[in-house]
Amino acid sequence: MPSILYLRSMGHEFPAFLSFAESEAVTARYLREVSDDELARYDAILVPAHIDQRGLARREAALTRFLDKGGTLVFNGHLVYPMLGLAPFVPSQGGHKDDLIVESVNAHPVFDGVDDYDISFRRGVSGFYGRGGNPPPAGAIILHRMKTDHAPLDWFWERPQGGRILMHAGNTMWMYLGDDTSAARIAPQLLAWLKATSGKRAACDGKCAQRAQAQTLAQPQNLLAQAA
């Protein structure tokens, strides 16, 4: 089974997710407890929004090694420290309720059955899930975007050099685990997807570019087109 590391939040950890992750054999450690070599050894790493991102960016060499050997990085939050060649967070303009609606662009197993409404609103309030985007690299597949300005809120990227990044530029995606909506599907689907696809199956032996291209061609239908 793939080895999965959950880097614990500095604050506002979601106890239900911690229990769930540990019950699913995910290793939960604080960043300060994990050496560079250990980081590089895992098959998947979960990064919550409440992480010491400055400290994580200082581990860029280890994260690069982790990705190069086929690791899957699940990153939550606004990217503000340069790392992995990614561009920094751009907030969406406008803070009104309807400026912060999220819409699906492409399907992904982690978000299967998750209704756009349930990540756009909580008790009728918008903006919890995200309010901007971490700009995607070329070749990334946009999964969710802000409806008004199309900010790239969630994307999935298979790096040409190896490894994969599932990016969510907002509040930690597994915070919905206890919600009574379809958004509660995200956390279990995330772990199921990682178990099914990370580790040896994600390593690509230099064939990542071809694989990424094949995946792009095989993408499920655009949900917007489907809705239209």
Binding site for another protein (CB under 8 A): 10-12, 30, 32, 49-56, 77-81, 89, 91, 95, 123-125, 127, 131-132, 171
Q: Is 159 left (phi over 0), alpha (psi -120 to 50) or beta?
A: beta
Smaller CB separation from another protein, 30 or 117: 30
Distances in Å between the Cα of 10 and the Cα atoms of 76, 83, 173, 175 are 14, 20, 16, 15
104: left (phi over 0), alpha (psi -120 to 50) or beta: beta
Q: Which is nearer to another protein, 37 or 124 (CB)?
A: 124
Nearer to another protein by Cβ, of 132 and 199: the residue is 132
Q: How far is the CB of 199 from another protein (least distance, A)?
A: 29
Nearest-approach distance from CB 127 to another protein, in angstroms: 6
SS3 state of residue 176: helix
Element (H, E) at 7: strand 4-7
Q: Give SS3 for 130.
A: strand
Residue closer to another protein, measured from CB, 78 or 147: 78
Structural contact between residues 50 and 10, judged by C-beta atoms closer than 8 angstroms: yes
Least distance in Å: CB of 68 to another protein? 25
State which residue, 80 or 196, has the beta carbon closest to another protein.
Answer: 80
Phi (first) and psi of residue 98, to 5 degrees: -80, -10
> Residue 219 CB, nearest distance to another protein (Å)?
30
74 vs 212 by CB, closer to another protein:
74
The minimum distance between CB 7 and another protein, in angstroms, equals 12
**In the structure encoding, which two tokens stand for residue 198, read together?**
């990370």
Rounded to the nearest 10 degrees, the angle between the axes of helix 186-197 and helix 15-23 is 30
Cβ 9 to another protein shortest distance, Å:
9
